[in-house]
Structure 1
Amino acid sequence: MVDVNAQIDAVTRTLRTEEIDGEPTRIQTIAQDYPADIADVWDATTTADRIARWFLPVTGDLRLGGRYQLIGNAGGEILACSPPADGSAEYRITWEFGGGVTWVTVRLTSIGQDSTRFTLEHSARVADVPEQLWETYGPGATGVGWDQAVLGLALHFGTQDSAISPEEGQAWALSDEGAAFTRAAADRWAEAHIADGAEPATAARTADATFAFYTGRTVED
């Protein structure tokens, strides 16, 4: 059993819009601390066998300049890779899915001998995201997916008194407990949306649409 409230509260979510190379860009950030040293978290997030244990199976050449492919999901190129040194580490990849290209940066920061902060930034140029998609779902469309990923990593590192394999994750997401998790994550992304300037009614509407998309349930269910 997943402690939904504890997991939701353990995660930090932000959304900001800024210009990058002259292009308005939305940057979603999600972060969580894990009870493991930075070398262990780096290994869990950069090696194929461990990525498959908490996220998705991945193939490809997982090194600088190589290409990766998450089975049934995104693929892309590894643009930068800085292994742990002096308490920090980072890699940057393209996130190529459905004909579009966005960018993901993962940063690790040692916050103690056996604790590491995992921070993921997902950047997308405003012009590259279909306007109707953003107006319908807002940041929750990708944000809830990243919430599921950091939950998987939390389970991997034992921060929850539970175990759900990636293969079991889809069924869990459609359970009552999984739906409660999705509802809470969508609402937190709505809060980030408002902090970035969205009207509260708009953020609430997109959160409802995101919840329905991920669970097949309506607000009334």
Structure 2
Amino acid sequence: MIDIVNQINATHREIGNRPVAAGEGRSLLLRRAYDAVIEDVWSACTDPDRISRWLAPIEGDLRLGGTFQLKDNAGGEILRCEEPHLIKVTWALGEGMGTELEVRLARGDDGGTVLELEHAAPAEIVDEMARTYGPGATIGIGCGWDLALLGLDLFLHGTTFDPATWGDTSEEKEFAARSCRAWGPVIQAAWGTSDDDIAAAIAFAEQHYAPEATGGDNR
């Protein structure tokens, strides 16, 4: 069983501005602590076999300057790799959709690990998506990363699951729905979006990630 409320509340979420190679950028930042030593979390984020057990199968030349491709997901180039603290890659889902992903690890005071995931994209891409799809597009991306960080936590605690299908259960759909709601006020605080637009954005993202989930709040 997943403790959905505690899992939602375990992650800090924010929207900011972060330069990318192309210039001005916008970013989503997620931060959470894991009850695992930094070497274990680093291995889970960089070892191909372990990545496939919580995120997706991965292939490529997995070294600094090499490339990677996640099955049915993003691919890119490995820009920085500083064990056990930092990995930075380009993250492309299609032509003209290049973004940058940075994962930072730090030792926690309790012997665990604090992970920061920052996904940055050129400002013009983010702004165009917001104009076309509303803030729901950003909420959806944030929800996707929430699901990934939940998968990492389950994996580090020894839970066996298929990352390609585990999101089909009612538990994971309810987690996804609550994640969408958690991102709502973050987007609103960053962009001053109206209550009506945020409500529509949450509904848009929930329909994609959790069409059958119902009810609940984040408390």
Normalised by the size of structure 2, how large is the TM-score?
0.87
Work out whether 1:188 is the aligned partner of 2:182.
yes
Shift of 1:170: 3.1
Work out whether 1:216 is the aligned partner of 2:215.
no
**Structure 1 residues 198, 155: CA separation in 2 closer, same or farther (over 3 Å shift)?**
same
1:11-160 equivalences under 5 Å are: 11-17=11-17, 23-84=23-84, 89-99=85-95, 100-112=97-109, 114-129=111-126, 130-131=128-129, 132-135=131-134, 137-158=136-157
Residue 161 of structure 2 aligns to a residue in which SS?
coil
Which of 191, 198, 206 aligns to 1:203? It is 198
Partners of 2:174 and 2:198 in 1: CA distance = 18
Residue 43 of structure 2 aligns to a residue in which SS?
helix
More strand by share: 1
RMSD between superposed Cα atoms in Å: 2.2
Identity of aligned residues (%): 33
Residue 56 of structure 2 aligns to a residue in which SS?
coil
8 Å contact kept, 1:208–1:219? no
Structure 1 unaligned residues grouped into runs of 5+: none
Residue 149 of structure 2 aligns to a residue in which SS?
helix
Partners of 2:98 and 2:21 in 1: CA distance = 15
Structure 2 unaligned residues grouped into runs of 5+: none
Return the letter of the residue paired with 1:101: G
8 Å contact kept, 1:37–1:113? no
**Structure 1 residues 18, 152: CA separation in 2 closer, same or farther (over 3 Å shift)?**
closer
Partners of 2:13 and 2:160 in 1: CA distance = 24
**Total equivalences in the alignment:** 211
Partners of 1:170 and 1:119 in 2: CA distance = 23
CA distances 1:104-158 after superposition (whole Å, capped 9, x unpaired): 0000000136300111000011212433444151421211110110000110122
Return the letter of the residue paired with 1:71: K
Partners of 1:41 and 1:179 in 2: CA distance = 25
8 Å contact kept, 1:33–1:115? yes
8 Å contact kept, 1:78–1:93? yes
Residue 143 of structure 2 aligns to a residue in which SS?
helix
8 Å contact kept, 2:135–2:198? no
Normalised by the size of structure 1, how large is the TM-score?
0.87
Deviating more after overlay: 111-120 vs 67-76: 111-120
